[in-house]
Structure 1
């Protein structure tokens, strides 16, 4: 286990725990995590995950701003963005994007070592499984930015798959991290649902 892996795991766990608590600091802590994770994924040839960290860097900044600057009707008692449920249209669209996106990214990842051998000397490991994690993580991040409760259900699925993948790749500390993420995601689901119910019982 490298220092990058250990430090990245530590910041990742803190960021997800803060997210489960709907705490604004989850976003800046997450920025540190994605920088370290991007370096690690390059080292173990998980290229879709490496690209994903560039995306996460940007969305952590966006999410930080969005939670801190809600519209008046969206603000909770702390003047931060309230949690809410996804619409049926959003759920259907998520399934379509997840299916199509996983296939297309899997095809792309499978050919990276052919197209850019100077950069990607080894073929992508488990391109379709890794692409599923990537696509679902991208989708769910947008829902997290909007504080959608269903985000945690998707994270539970993604975290279970990631736990398996990283264990096989020998990044076992990251595998353990994602196992813990699964537990935190279950807590986050319950905590956010409870917070949503509280809006009906008291003014915000």
Structure 2
């Protein structure tokens, strides 16, 4: 059990921290898919809850990721809300664009290399810092992929790139398996739902991008 129980469902004890992290996480992602700038603000609350939850679950790379998310949520809000004049949409917020196709390979290669390095680091945390990390990292390489890919994809999200949502779909599928294996079942279900939201976001943002291109 992660924390004090808020309710029990079919024998599964739902902790307060998992429940509220799930609620705020789901709302933040849905608002992002709808291109709503306030998704970043809801996300600030979510990352605070998730930091504690991942620490208790020995998912240390995911825990570190929340620090990055906290900072980028503040930056992302500013970038979406106050874009340059030539990058604004009809609502005077940042416009959706695509990344240069030439950057696809170095982008993916960077994620693979960073995943390997972070996985090695996470595998040794309990030996290097036993007072902080008293148990070995669970799924160090898979969890490190979630960390590194999420960092890279967050930069795409901050710039409102269409490819953001295809990357989130891959990350969400891996995360669903990890959280289910760690018995964080509601969070696993949330990330399963995120797979559908990511698909919706990819389709919707592509349509909006094509609309902006026609309007130019």
Please name the residue that 1:165 is paired with.
178
Report 1:21-170 matches (<5 A). 21-170=34-183
Structure 1 position 39, deviation (Å): 0.5
CA distance in 2, matches of 1:89, 1:97: 14
User: 2:124 aligns to what SS in structure 1?
Assistant: helix
4+ runs deviating over 2 angstroms: 200-203
* 1:78-121 Cα distance to aligned partner (Å, 9 max, x none): 10000011112321221111110000000000000000000000
C-alpha distance after superposition, 1:24-67 (max 9, x if no partner):
00100011100000000000100000000000000000000000
TM-score (norm 1): 0.97
Alignment of 1:173-184 (within 5 A): 173-184=186-197
User: TM-score under structure 2 normalisation?
Assistant: 0.92
Q: Give the number of the structure with larger relative contact order, counting CA–CA contacts within 8 Å between residues 6 or more apart.
A: 1
The alignment partner of 1:118 has SS state of coil
C-alpha distance in structure 2 between counterparts of 1:171 and 1:103, whole Å:
25
Q: How many angstroms apart in 2 are the aligned matches of 1:57 and 1:166?
A: 21
Gaps of 5+ in 1: none
Shift of 1:200: 3.3
Aligned residues: CA RMSD: 0.9
Tell me the CA shift for residue 197 of structure 1: 1.4
Q: Measure the CA separation in 1 of the matches of 2:213 and 2:50.
A: 39
Q: How many residues align?
A: 203
